[in-house]
Amino acid sequence: MDKTVPPGAAILLDFIRETEVGRSDRASYDVIYGHNQAKLPQPLTTMTYGEIVDAQKGWSKRFRSSAAGGYQFMRATLIDLAKQVTTISGTDVFTPDLQDRLAYKLLLRRGYAEFIVGKISLVQFAENLAKEWASFPVLAATKGGERKVRRGHSYYAGDGLNKALVKPEKVEAVLKYALEAARRPHEPVDEPEARPVPKPKAKPVRKSGRFWTWLLTAGGTIVTGLRELNLVALDWRVQIAILVVIVGFAVYAITSMPAVRGALGLK
């Protein structure tokens, strides 16, 4: 089943496929009406959407129906779906996943979303399904496609071609099960935890070329300043002490003040 089909709908589509073609396995997607798929030059699931629609022109006369695939899509239905679902191209291969997505569109057309939220009854939704899939029975007497039909009959009973292939009690049970699955909270898919991005290590002060350039420049500027102020006449020990205090303050500013570190490229 295509992963984009919700759980409740997936249950229902598996049941529809099994009812329509008598099986729900991978081979069910290659079935055409009357199980005449062996008479085709290649399997349905290897043909393109456009090739199937073109081939269906002759199937109604040859096989009495153009129904194709696991959900027995009629030619008119495929043409209509191609108009509604603009992402479909005639070159798309008629894979099982594509058939699942198309059948889910049909479920939505027939009121699946309204059924899930309680806007239409189970009986009404079952009748809607019987209008789409002739093998499904109605669950209450109604005016069918050809005549008035009773519970358990195909909506198209009397057309000489279709009849219900499943008991109404089975349909009721599957619809209730699908409804329960659709309303059940689904566990979210666990997202992989994002790995923390390591912060770049601070470049040690001793490895910063900009720092040493600044320090030597500052030292030279200080010496020049002392000369300009005639402080060079001071005792050399005093000069060294003054220089040590200035350099110490500069180092303190660099190591403790982010703005200073940023200006010097020491992040």
Residue 195's pLDDT is 45
Q: Which of 70-79, 165-174, 204-213 has the lowest mean pLDDT?
A: 204-213
266 touches 208 (CB < 8 A): yes
At residue 27, the 3 state secondary structure works out as: helix
Q: In this prediction, what percent of the chain has a pLDDT beyond 90?
A: 61
Residue 38 pLDDT exceeds 50: yes
How far is 90 from 240, CA to CA, in rounded Å? Answer: 88
pTM of the entire predicted model: 0.67
pLDDT computed for residue 216 by the predictor: 55
List Cβ neighbours of 249 (8 Å cut-off, separation of 6 or more): none
Measured between alpha carbons, how far is 197 from 187 in angstroms, rounded to an integer?
29
pLDDT value of position 192: 41
Confidence bin at 237 (pLDDT 50/70/90): confident
Radius of gyration of the chain (CA): 39
Q: What are phi and psi of 211, to 5 degrees?
A: -60, -45
Q: Which amino acid is at 111?
A: G
Residue 266: name the closest of 186, 212, 204, 218 by CA: 204
Cα–Cα distance, 242 to 247 (Å, whole number): 9
Give me the percent of the chain exceeding a pLDDT of 70: 71
Angle between helices 7-21 and 96-109 (to 10 degrees): 100
Retrieve residue 244's tokens: 């040590």
For residue 93, is pLDDT > 80? yes
The residue that leads in pLDDT, 225 or 132, is: 132
- How much is the average pLDDT of 255-264? 59
Q: Return mean pLDDT, the chain.
A: 82
Q: What gap in Å lies between CA 105 and CA 91, rounded to an integer?
A: 19
Q: Read off the pLDDT of each residue in 33-54 and give the average, rounded to a whole number.
A: 94
pLDDT band, very low/low/confident/very high, at 240 (cuts 50, 70, 90)? confident
What is the Cα–Cα distance from 234 to 102, expressed in whole angstroms? 96
Lowest mean pLDDT among 38-52, 90-104, 188-202: 188-202
- And the tokens for 35? 């199980």
